Amino acid sequence: MKIALIQTNPVIGDFAGNIETISRRLDKAKEKGCALAILPELAISGYPPQDLLERPAFLDDHDRAFDNLVKQTSGIGVLCGLVTRNLEHIGKPLCNSAVLFCDQEIIATSSKRLLPTYDVFDESRYFEPGQQSNTVQFKGLNLGLTICEDIWNDKNIFSRRLYQVDPVGALLAGAKEHVDLLINIAASPFNLGKAEIKREIFANICNKYGLPLIYVNQVGGQDSLIFDGASLAMDQTGKVVARAARFKEDLVVIDTDTWQGDDHSNPKQDNQETADVYRALRLGTSDYLRKCGFSKVIIGLSGGVDSALTATIATHALGQQNVLGVAMPSPYSSPGSIEDAEQLAKNLGIEFRIIPIADIFNKYLDTLAPIFAGQEPDVTEQNIQARIRGNLLMAIANRQGRLVLSTGNKSEMAVGYCTLYGDMSGGLAVISDVPKQLVYELCRYINHKHEIIPWSTIDKPPSAELAPNQKDEDDLPPYPILDQILAAYLEDNLSSREIIAMGFDRQVVEDVLRRIRINEYKRKQAPMGLKVTTKAFGYGRRYPTAERYREGL
């Protein structure tokens, strides 16, 4: 039997558009002779629909869309992820389910058993867990059905399991007949390092139970999350025999008679992780704009690496005709920075404007002079410059129907090296989950064939240029040190004592952690950012703003 693995890029709540995409793909699967097509988790609504699931009208429209799909589909079996109603009189009113139908008949329904409630996931808020793991007979094959998290609880992989039950083990132990094929439909977001973990989990299951496995994942950007697709089929030894593309919609076919299939994966690169992050950010940016109804953006170009990287991602995501770069030199901007910004715009082929802010800045100072009298200049004057720039960008965006892309990186966001209502202004923070060292890696990756980002931008010491001869390292630890401390604290959850034991200076560690704490209020007001690490600022990191916990040393 030929099976189509279909990874779609849904728009949440666009039921008509999502069904149209699915129908088109099903027609293509039939043309290829497939008897079964498999779609991702919550393929009808898109994942995650969040509190839209609490609206009765949303659920009614969802059900009508699925009914229409069932009625208009014939000649092929379809395994589809969707929201179903919990018919019991106790528990959450909904289930996250996989439904198999063929020729306008519902054959089987199986509900997700493990509902994640960590990081960006909050499924127990909406769904009732399934009570048993199901198999279903289709065209002579006994299929074992699981949904995303259900496959992430194997004791051979996880030293501490989050759940009491292992759905895969329970499914195989409870099956009345031999299971021929395991299927996992998913909406599993991308982050650095996750692809290898998934392959290890899948290969372990194949080897452990001597069964082949098919995994079908959602693709596309959804708010801060980016789904990489990368659907695949493995044989019973854990060897990958079919692969869908990463970071784009795709359909691949696996033949269960020969256990051979399509391979649409990209060739491996020496800098694979860096390339993956770049493709993720590009997809996240393009989908955020498209799904929110924007097509054009504006970016403040400082001549530094952060704005250069953001502008390059935007240009490759949206097209050069949709990107406007604006340099806004202050009295402290170096001529080289303006030249670098202009050269970048020329290399990218985007529109470029220069708006000096010295006169506006001086008027601010004149206006505030009576209140500031007798006080020495400090960070206040630096923030005024940043806020002038933010206001100018927002004004142009309003007039021209653009979205402002803010350019701050994760290292700056962590320690508050950013200005509220200034450089934090914007509708999307493209690189807010990209540490500074990774910013440099991405810039070098972009230039691996020819110069796009001026090398002078990459090579010069980073500076906000808001004060005379200012350098970032005047106020912060060197970024190689800062980024290691941040990763240890934010992503690995190490204590200050443990970080110091790694060899970092105690005073530096204490200061970095202090800055993280006191700048929580800034991050709560920051634009939405795209998630690429295991722990990003935003929905998946929920810390109180008002708190007094201090780790003992």
Show which residues are catalytic.
41, 112, 148
**Token pair 């728009």 is at which residue?**
11
**CB–CB of 423/390 below 8 Å?**
yes
**CB–CB of 95/53 below 8 Å?**
no
Q: What CA–CA distance (Å, rounded) separates 13 from 84?
A: 15
Strand partners, 7: 250
**Token pair 């290898």 is at which residue?**
196
Q: What is the CA radius of gyration of the chain?
A: 26
Structure token digits, residue 168: 């895969």
Q: At what angle do helices 167-174 and 194-209 cross, to 10 degrees?
A: 20
**CB–CB of 434/539 below 8 Å?**
no
- Positive/negative CA dihedral, 308, 310, 311, 312: positive
**CB–CB of 41/72 below 8 Å?**
no
Structure token digits, residue 426: 């914007």
- DSSP secondary structure code for residue 130 in this structure: P
**CB–CB of 540/523 below 8 Å?**
no
Side-chain-facing half-sphere of 150: CA atoms under 13 Å: 31
Q: What CA–CA distance (Å, rounded) separates 435 from 416?
A: 14
Q: What CA–CA distance (Å, rounded) separates 141 from 374?
A: 83
**CB–CB of 41/114 below 8 Å?**
no
Structure token digits, residue 12: 């949440």
Torsional class of 538: left (φ above 0), alpha (ψ -120 to 50), beta (otherwise):
left
Amino acid occupying residue 106: I
